[in-house]
Structure 1
């Protein structure tokens, strides 16, 4: 039996899936990215406009809820993360700040590049293009079942790194899973749902702390 979207070559299928996937209005993304220094796992609902809501797990560094609505970002770290020295994109908080924001949402100033860096995970187009290089040689590598659905597997290698796309969808191809491996680390992104209803709301004013006004 021919694999999904057998009419496309490997390069054409990846290009089409990348282009079509980012045009959908909303999706849920699960991820697990590991490097020598840290691990980030999470599950995030993302809209095409950049709104997002989800939770990130940083192993022994704790857990962080994230929310972005109309360009305004908010973080809610758990107690473990509030005690973690700033590293690998985790903000550092003083004891007084940690006590002030415990259990509350932290408003991230739009000009705060470091604070907003974690929200790169809410840029679905950037996420999908992370491993996409049009100059690589993409080859179809059979089929693989994901959540009971046959997907086309397409791989490419370059300088000790490998990227693998799993693509399904009918009639238009959609990315179901992206795997990356190389000297810097390994990981995957999996789109678990497309076209999900998503209407994020800003946190109640009484649950928001603006640390920029405290410093």
Structure 2
């Protein structure tokens, strides 16, 4: 059984936890949550019927770990949990201002980035998923099954997500995820190299 963790239960972390449970993408017994304020993590755990613990225990217990902390706090969380972030684990960061390359350089775990839209909390949004160079097809399946979406392969693009992709376009695999299925078009639309 695959276990999942979320470190950071602010807006995005709580939204992901609620959607994972609501949609049945992750069973309550398989989901662990943590927050710098343990009281907040405990409240969310009681509300959803999941498990709450400190960052170290969540990192230890999780096969797939969603890092939903502010970019300014991400290095500290990775440093705190680095001994537990082994190559057998997949970390998925939602921090927009933190590159996939930085994630890969800070720990031994396989890395990915997920950039959900605000509408994702209502099951209507799009999530951009970028897999790192060491991530496997099994990692793709684990992340997509948690996000409970279909995928569209692509790459490139403009804006914050495009910048993240362009910096890794040779090695990364990029998926545009939508709960209603695959959307036509390519993430390359509107971006002409460079």
Q: TM-score, normalised by structure 1?
A: 0.23
- Judging by fraction of residues, say which structure has more helix: 2
Q: Which has the higher relative contact order, 1 or 2, with Cα contacts under 8 A spaced 6 or more apart?
A: 1
Q: TM-score, normalised by structure 2?
A: 0.24
- Judging by fraction of residues, say which structure has more strand: 1
Query: Which of structures 1 and 2 has the bigger CA Rg?
Result: 1
